[in-house]
Structure 1
Amino acid sequence: MIIMIKFVKSKHAVSFVGRNYKACHSLLTIDFMGPCPYRCVYCYVRDMPYIYSSWGLKNRFDLEAVLWYNKPELLKKYMRQNRDFKFPIRIGALSDIGPPFNYTIPMLRKTLRYALELEYPLVIFTKTPLNKFDELVELFLKMMNKGLIAVAVSITDVDEKIYRRLEPLAPPVNERINFLEWLSDNDIPHILRISPLLQGVTDKEEKFLGILNSIPRSHVVVEYIRTRNKRLINFLMKLGVYTWKWDNIWKYYLAPRNYRKRKYIELREIAHHAGWSYAVCGDPLKNENICIYQDYDDCCTGKWRIYSKAVRKILEKEATIRKNKRFVKEILSQTSLVRYNKVCK
């Protein structure tokens, strides 16, 4: 639990996440605070001490967090300066929009208002039922009307005995399900992320279907749990999460490659039979044959194509873009999104 907040002035509006861009096109991110207040035991940021150091924290066990109070204003400036380069920004990359809500929700409200004003697309990753904050509801609806927003809600399991041991401080799953239902009822692009996916537990057909059947049909994205922490592996094995192997490409312990290949295809068939579209998130396996791992070019937002619509506009005016030329020519052209459109038609 966080007991102290350090208010810090940030120098950067967004972060560029380019290490795995061939398997993931969600490249521009923003966090309002760090570390995440929910402190889930599986959080892979815990395996990255350099991130804690960059936040000015001594280690992952610090009971304090950094809040970058000027992020919305920096983001507004960034959006204004990049009007010809509206690549979607993902909110909630390393830290959820969680407590203290008296700070994070006003920051999100400002960010949504600026994005609406400048017509800049956003994708939110969260476990927080944001519809319970009245000041956000109208902004969500207005952004939806302009095709500027998608919301991905993460659920690990609907079994409280499992998810409460993994994410004891996160909102109850029933609140997240209600949030997805609210998004669906209001035609706001919504995505279910079964993240992390637990091998031997939530990738079994009965359990996977149980999660899907609890929620309005939409687009589901799966992402296997990964870690560099052997103590966490021992803890998870007690919950039935078995079969681990070091991946030399991804540099994590996770389910073995052949196991993942087989399960990804099985889960895709299950999702399709249940009426869902499907995608795998970020796995380097996608570099081998991307077509079998996702139903749309935009794996993040599925049929709503928040990313692919933006990329198409960027590529159409590539010759006139003065800023971000290297990003467009050298990186964007190799992302999973662009490669899918080249090889999967």
Structure 2
Amino acid sequence: MIEIISRFDPWGDPLCTCPPKYSLNPYTGCQHRCLYCYITSYIPRAFECRPKKDLLQRVRRDLGKLDRRLPISLSNSSDPYPPLERELGLTRKCLELIGRAGLAVQIITKSDLVARDVDLLSRMRSVVSFTITTLNPRLARRLEPNAPPPERRLRAVGVISKKGIPATVRLDPLFPGLNEEEIERVVRAAAGAGAVHVTASTFKPRPDCWQRMMLAFPEFCKKARELYFVEGERHKTGRYLPAAMRRELLLRVREACEASGLTFSVCREGMRELNTAPTCDGTHLLPRESRSL
């Protein structure tokens, strides 16, 4: 029985199209304090980042029990590169263990600190995904108060890609009337920095993050309330915009990707037919072989 590296299963959501993989969160909670974050619905003290107890010992035990064909995703309920990582280096130590075990890794982050670990990632089967919701620094500070600014993330995309590590961008979440006018700009910036793939997803509010958004963006929520709570749909993981509106937003992202020579996919939207890549999460970009650590 594995202890800390679990099979990725986002609440059994039928709209999730992710291929099989594992999930590892070296830290509990996240310091970015993103208003739209979903982990506050199931993690106590979600915005207080702390290391997992006996992390490295538990990771060592689990690595020998895993299906080596499946990648490990870091991280889905936290960021693997919080400010605390500069001091503790737990994610780096996990990468060293994963690399020695010969498993592939997918990094999902909002932090440019990942560039510190290019020496490890360039020798592993790895892909790095950066979440970039906006290029507007003022909007970013309001939506993602403690996350590194988007320009630093874009620079890290460049560092990663220049080392031969596949880099992708998550344009996630898309807010109608808030960041949708930036779709084309974000995609062009991602391509210019060296990304090869974009994953997009619309905002899917739960009660807690909707409350935070109402306090910070009352005008947006006033306009969006009917879209989500009257015309929209309710799914297991939150409220959804009407399907036609979601499709329209996602098609704009796909068209922007095609114009910039990037592949595209959607996340937790269903709508597989919109994807132009073999996987929605970018794991199809993982190299076939790694160099030994």
State if a TM-score over 0.5 links the two structures.
yes
Say whether 1:214 aligns with 2:171.
no
Offset from partner CA, 1:57-100 (integer Å, 9 cap, x none): xx55xx74442142233223222233x54311111111112021
The structure 2 residue matched to 1:86, chosen from 69, 92, 96, is 69
Q: Residues of 2 paired with 1:78 and 1:65: CA distance?
A: 23
1:260 aligns with 2:237: no
- Note the C-alpha offset of 1:262: 2.4
Of residues 195, 201, 205 in structure 2, which corresponds to 1:223?
201
Given the two structures, how large is their TM-score scaled by the length of structure 2? 0.83
Contact 2:131–2:171, Cα closer than 8 Å, also in 1: yes
Q: Measured at CA, do residues 77 and 103 of structure 1 come closer, stay the same or move farther in structure 2, by a change above 3 Å?
A: farther
Q: Separation in 2 of the partners of 1:132 and 1:268?
A: 27
Partner letter of residue 3 of structure 2? H
- What is the aligned length? 273
Cα separation, 1, equivalents of 2:243 and 2:107: 29
SS at match of 2:32: coil
How far does residue 103 in structure 1 lie from its aligned partner after superposition? 4.6
The 3-state SS of whatever aligns with 1:90 is strand
Q: 2:275 aligns with which of 294, 317, 320?
A: 294
TM-aligned CA deviation for residue 177 of structure 1: 0.4
**Counterpart position of 1:156:** 133
Which residue identity lines up with residue 226 of structure 1 in the other structure?
A: K
Paired AA for residue 185 in structure 2: G
Q: Is the 8 A contact 1:162 1:239 kept in 2?
A: no
3-state SS of the aligned residue for 1:282? Answer: coil
After superposition, the CA RMSD in angstroms is 2.5
Question: 1:199 & 1:93 partners in 2: Cα distance?
Answer: 24
Deviating above 4 A after TM superposition, structure 1's stretches of 4 or more consecutive aligned residues are: none
Go from structure 1 to structure 2 and tell me whether the alpha carbon gap of 1:119 and 1:27 turns closer, same or farther (over 3 Å shift).
closer
TM-score (norm 1): 0.71
CA change 1:252–1:261 in 2 (3 A) is same
In 2 relative to 1, CA 182–239 (structure 1 residues): closer, same or farther, beyond 3 Å? farther
Aligned residue runs from structure 1 range 226-305, under 5 A: 226-229=204-207, 230-234=210-214, 235-239=216-220, 242=224, 243-245=227-229, 246-283=232-269, 285-286=270-271, 290=272, 292-301=273-282, 304-305=285-286
Quote how far apart the aligned CAs of 1:188 are: 0.3
1:40-59 maps to which residues of 2 (within 5 A)?
40-48=34-42, 51-52=43-44, 59=45
Q: 1:193 is paired with a residue of what secondary structure?
A: strand
Where does the alignment leave 5 or more consecutive residues of structure 2 unmatched?
Answer: none
Per the alignment, do residues 160 and 264 of structure 1 end up closer, same or farther by CA in structure 2, a change over 3 Å counting? same
